[in-house]
Amino acid sequence: MMIFGNLFTALNLKGVNYCCLPVTERSNRGKMAAAASMMPYFAQQISSKNDLVPDWMGQEVSTGTTIMAVEYDGGVVIGADSRTTTGAYIANRVTDKLTPIHDRIFCCRSGSAADTQAIADVVTYQLGFHSIELDEPPLVETAANLFKASCYRYREELSAGILVAGWDRRKGGQVYCVPIGGMMVRQPVSIGGSGSSYIYGFMDSNYKPDLTKDQCLDLTAAALSLAMERDGSSGGVIRLASISEAGVERKVILGNQLPKYSTH
């Protein structure tokens, strides 16, 4: 029964009416969900009988993460590291944690990679239909509220911390924080993920209102570099994006180009 319960939850989360699926598709999805739900069990059983199987095989993929978003006059700057981990194993060094939701709306993802990707897919789907119905680009606040609704509804099952940032004609550049549990609050600057605990003091000392776009880019790059120096779950490259009325500009800072803060 647990397998079918998980399947119904997954399909409902994706906006799929299970009862409307063809029998063959229902059967295939049921088999896939059953197999996925049994993978941690099999990995645990194999690990207990074979010391050659690493412990990380039974753990979920996590974005680890340091994410950041800053408002400036006319837009927002967002940034994130690129390391994805499975336990102590680095599964991907160059993950893109800056996920487009609409033309001028992005989210920064931290927590479980599967959970955050699923939530982002759902919100992208819902926001697309909302934009078609209104025949105009959606509001950033609307996207943030959709994230809040999904994260709150499934707060017991999900591990997802989201920063929603973007630009719209009504309020300009905006940053909304949606932490685990489904709360939503607008902030001029917001940081999240495991690496954020290392840079709160840095942000308190260096962030000032009315920063320019270039100053926000420099501040974001410096903060992320500092977090990546100290946090074992953050690393790789830095991905940056600025979002304004003119569109989206993206930038990548490679590992050998990052500012260095350690003294050893």
Rounded Cα gap, residues 209 and 158, in angstroms: 34
Tokens 């050659």 belong to which residue? Answer: 52
66 is catalytic: no
Rounded Cα gap, residues 5 and 260, in angstroms: 49
Catalytic residue of the set 24, 63, 65, 95: 65
Cα separation values, 125 from 61, 69, 165, 200, Å? 24, 23, 17, 34
Residue 52: both structure tokens together: 């050659």
Residues marked active site are found at 65
